[in-house]
Amino acid sequence: MTESSHHENIELLTYSEVIDVKGFVGNFDVTIRMRPRSVDMSRCTGCGDCLTKCPAKVPSEADQGLGTRRAIYKPFSNAVPNVPVIDRDHCIYFTKGKCQICQKVCKAGAINYEQEETIRTEKFGAIIVATGFSLFDISKYGEYGGGRYKDVITGLQLERMIDPNGPTGGRLVRPSDGKPAKSVVFVQCVGSRDEVKGMAYCSKVCCMYTAKQAILLKDHFPETQSYVFYIDIRATGKNYEEFILRAQREYGVVYLRGRVSKIHDPGDKLEVYGADTLAGESVKINADLVVLASAMVPNPDARDLARMLNIPYDSYGFYSEIHPKLQPVESITRGMFIAGACTFPKDIPDSVMMGSAAAAKVCTLFAADELTVEPKLAEVAVDKCVGCFNCVDVCPYDAIQKDTVSGRNVARVIQTLCQGCGNCASTCRSGALDVKGFTDKAIYAQISAPFEADEEEENAYAGA
């Protein structure tokens, strides 16, 4: 991140949002909303004085609600750029009109409450969409406490907890009373592989990160005992299976093959009820901490973004590639690439691979002087076009524009955008639009061929 922020060819736009994309490959007009940071980036030295003096405390998003942050904050300690932002919804000055402590303590004079949102539109040649994922909301699982039990946390919360710079300073504690946790139960597939309450798919990363966390717990806190409830262990990467075996054998993590049915909170320790189908026995464990491996799901705004960018998405909201095996990083819109977990749950190696592939695809695209396009494109017979522009409405790729030829309004196909779907050809009232190689005339000929009477055959029947 830091490296990319210093690179001469990379401009990092943080706290900004793409609000509109027009155009086509090589000519995307992207409108970006730059939200007001309230901190002058050119002046801020990143000293952090304001972060400690701000009196407004808010649950920290980065710490998954386990800790607090101030109203002026950096999303996380290593955030790039090293410049804080004022959360105007919680800032005392913005909500009540008084305070301004950050302005007083800032030696660089970087605080600027008057900053306003700016909108800029720029041209880009290609777009890579790598918007990532969100976590499944565990409140849908009432039998696991539905988020009401403080000691039932998600894997990401545990990750924050064992971070030395995290909300508990790297101590493994029960969030309810702050006592050290000795017995930890991990529950896999919370929201994954559940067609009734969650998602039918496997989230892919949980098996491995759970094993990693269980190993880390034993390493850092040798007195802890971890139990993992699983349906199947899916460890299909380089050295993954060995890693799971290490957790079981060297670190004594107890793997139980079954799904947890219920978590009960009688007051002191949580009671976890599950089963081990390998032993054919129901199991009860008294646990200090229960860690749920919640499913990876698409971002809540993934569909809106997809509609704006003209990227198709599946029933979950994950972005669709042209071909899952042969063109995994290309979206159906030319010049628009997709990478990472916005396409489907995947782990870090897969995301890195996909990101590199998308970048390489962009390089290939830019390196060529000319673009090759599929010959299967729509074509307007200008003399027949009556200028009704029904085609403009039906084109899913915005590939048809209004044009004027010798004073007449006619449709024009942008060849780089057209995918040859044929929607326009079937809609055109005057028969002016055809997909090359699939003209109405040719299709009619093909259809009528089998029905044309064969003379010889008919004679044969007549003779019989």
Partner 1 sequence: MLELDAEHVHNLSKRVKELSGDDVTHCIQCGKCSGGCTVAPDMEEIPSRIMRFIQLNMKERALTSSMVWTCSSCLTCTARCPEGIDIAKVMNVLRMMCLAEGYTPKEKHIHVFNRLFIDMIKKYGRVYELGLMVQNNMMAMTPFRDIGLLPAILKKRKIGLLPHKVKALGEVKELFKKGQTFYKRMKVEGWK
| Alpha-carbon distances of 115 from 232, 330, 374, rounded to whole Å | 53, 38, 48
Nearest distance, CB of residue 61 and partner 1, angstroms: 33
257 binds partner 1 per the rule CB under 8 A = yes
Per-residue contact track with partner 1, 258 to 297, x per CB under 8 A?
------------------x-xxxxxxxxx-----------
| Alpha-carbon distances of 263 from 64, 149, 213, 300, rounded to whole Å | 21, 9, 21, 28
Cα four-point dihedral sign 175, 176, 181, 186: negative
| Alpha-carbon distances of 395 from 317, 392, 420, 427, rounded to whole Å | 22, 6, 10, 10
Piece of the chain touching partner 1 by CB under 8 A; list 125-133, 147-155, 244-252, 339-347: 244-252
Taking alpha carbons only, the member of 90, 73, 76 closest to residue 37 is 73
Query: Looking at beta carbons only, is 267 or 463 nearer to partner 1?
Result: 267
Beta-carbon neighbour count of residue 334 at 10 Å?
Answer: 22
Query: Looking at beta carbons only, is 282 or 401 nearer to partner 1?
Result: 282
Which residues in the 128-187 window bind partner 1 by CB under 8 A? 182-183
List 186's β-bridge partners, or say none: 228, 291
Give the residue carrying structure tokens 């002058």: 40
| From 58, 80, 105, 254, residue interacting with partner 1 (rule: CB under 8 A) | 254
Nearest distance, CB of residue 266 and partner 1, angstroms: 14
| From 64, 157, 225, 294, residue interacting with partner 1 (rule: CB under 8 A) | 225
| From 192, 203, 210, 224, residue interacting with partner 1 (rule: CB under 8 A) | 224
Query: Looking at beta carbons only, is 106 or 247 nearer to partner 1?
Result: 247
Give the count of residues interacting with partner 1 (CB under 8 A): 22
Q: What does the alpha-carbon distance between residue 35 and residue 17 come to, in Å, rounded to a whole number?
A: 8
192 binds partner 1 per the rule CB under 8 A = no
| Alpha-carbon distances of 418 from 128, 140, 326, 426, rounded to whole Å | 20, 43, 21, 15
Query: Looking at beta carbons only, is 143 or 250 nearer to partner 1?
Result: 250
249 binds partner 1 per the rule CB under 8 A = yes
Hey, what amino acid is at 181? A
Residues that bind partner 1 (CB under 8 A): 182-183, 224-225, 227, 245, 248-249, 252, 254, 256-257, 276, 278-286
